[in-house]
């Protein structure tokens, strides 16, 4: 089985790229993030022609997650256990955002997650990010059972200093703080282990490169798109890599897909 994750940065804007990649990479399951469309507006017909069922969770312009599968989509769950909302500027009430969706696909339980960015250390969005990650941990602890289990997505956290192109550029910034990294460690405390992609041409398999300042051609990136699995999942992994080619050219997402191959009984 091949399971992948990709922050597509607008499924409508990247649809030709997405369809081309699906036809080439042929994942059995693809977790998408940052759809930037409602669930009803997801291009189900187009991906359906390639054999994919869709479970989507999105409300419109921002955020949004989905699971695409050729091996079935069952037991869909939208949102986390006790998921917090965010009180946006000018809003009267906290709003829960479409950032997590779980589904069982071909006997594997997968979650596609789009972790809040955090914006700045000390900003309310940073506090929201940590609260959201705590809800993710609680959801994982609740759901771990008899099926291989994995959480895939854009975590907006670089696990180590080596996972950013120049740690000096991130002093005092989000994505690299001890509190955020502790939230990743908390996932390991409930039974998950990170599946780290192998390095290809480049020593660190970055997954994100800013559109500005020639970050991609200069390989000034970050590894923030991650895969965590339980022992049943990780023990079946035969390969994991970042498809850097999907980031090349015009009209691409600023993220590249992470691809995991498994040999499941």
**Residue 255 assigned as binding residue:** yes
Residue 154 known to be catalytic: yes
Name the active-site residue from 28, 57, 126, 154. Answer: 154
Q: β-strands 258-262, 2-7: how paired?
A: antiparallel
**Residue 231 assigned as binding residue:** no
* CA proximity to 47, closest of 75, 68, 27: 68
CB 96 within 8 A of CB 85: yes
CB 67 within 8 A of CB 103: yes
**Residue 34 assigned as binding residue:** yes
**Residue 254 assigned as binding residue:** yes
Each residue of 210-223: b (16+ CB within 10 Å) or e?
eeeeebbeeebbbb
Chain-centroid distance, C-alpha 97 = 15
Residue 86 known to be catalytic: no
> For residue 86, what is the DSSP state?
B
Residue 146 known to be catalytic: no
CA distance 189 to 193: 9
Task: Classify burial at 45, counting beta carbons within 10 Å of its beta carbon; exposed 0-12, middle 13-18, buried 19 or more.
Answer: exposed
Name the active-site residue from 57, 128, 243, 255. Answer: 255
Name the active-site residue from 28, 52, 86, 114. Answer: 114
Q: β-strands 29-33, 258-262: how paired?
A: unpaired
Cα 30 to Cα 51, 114, 121, 150, 167, distances in angstroms = 12, 14, 32, 12, 31
Q: Mind telling me the catalytic residues?
A: 114, 154, 255
Residues annotated within a binding site for Mg(2+): 7, 34, 154, 156, 254-255
């Amino acid at each position: 089985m091949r399971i992948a994750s990709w922050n597509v940065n607008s499924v409508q804007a990247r649809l030709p790229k997405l369809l081309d990649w699906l036809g080439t990479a042929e994942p059995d399951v693809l977790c998408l993030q940052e759809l930037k469309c409602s669930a009803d507006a997801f291009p189900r017909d187009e991906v359906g022609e390639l054999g994919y069922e869709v479970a989507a969770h999105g409300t419109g312009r921002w955020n949004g997650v989905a699971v695409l599968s050729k091996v079935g989509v069952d037991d869909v769950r939208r949102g986390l256990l006790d998921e917090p909302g965010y009180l946006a500027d000018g809003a009267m009430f906290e709003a829960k955002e479409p950032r997590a969706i779980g589904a069982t696909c071909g006997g594997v339980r997968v979650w596609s997650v789009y972790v809040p960015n955090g914006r700045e250390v000390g900003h309310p969005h940073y506090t929201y990010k940590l609260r959201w990650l705590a809800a993710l941990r609680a959801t994982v602890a609740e759901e771990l059972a008899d099926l291989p289990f994995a959480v895939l997505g854009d975590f907006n956290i670089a696990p180590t200093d080596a996972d950013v192109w120049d740690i000096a550029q991130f002093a005092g910034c989000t994505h690299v703080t001890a509190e955020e990294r502790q939230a990743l460690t908390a996932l390991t405390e409930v039974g998950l282990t990170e599946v780290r992609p192998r390095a290809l041409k480049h020593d660190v398999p970055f997954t994100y490169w800013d559109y500005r300042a020639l970050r991609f051609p200069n390989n000034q990136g970050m590894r923030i798109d991650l895969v965590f699995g339980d022992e049943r999942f990780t023990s079946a992994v035969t390969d994991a890599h970042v498809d850097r080619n999907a980031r090349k050219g015009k009209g691409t997402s600023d993220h590249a897909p992470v691809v995991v191959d498994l040999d499941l009984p």
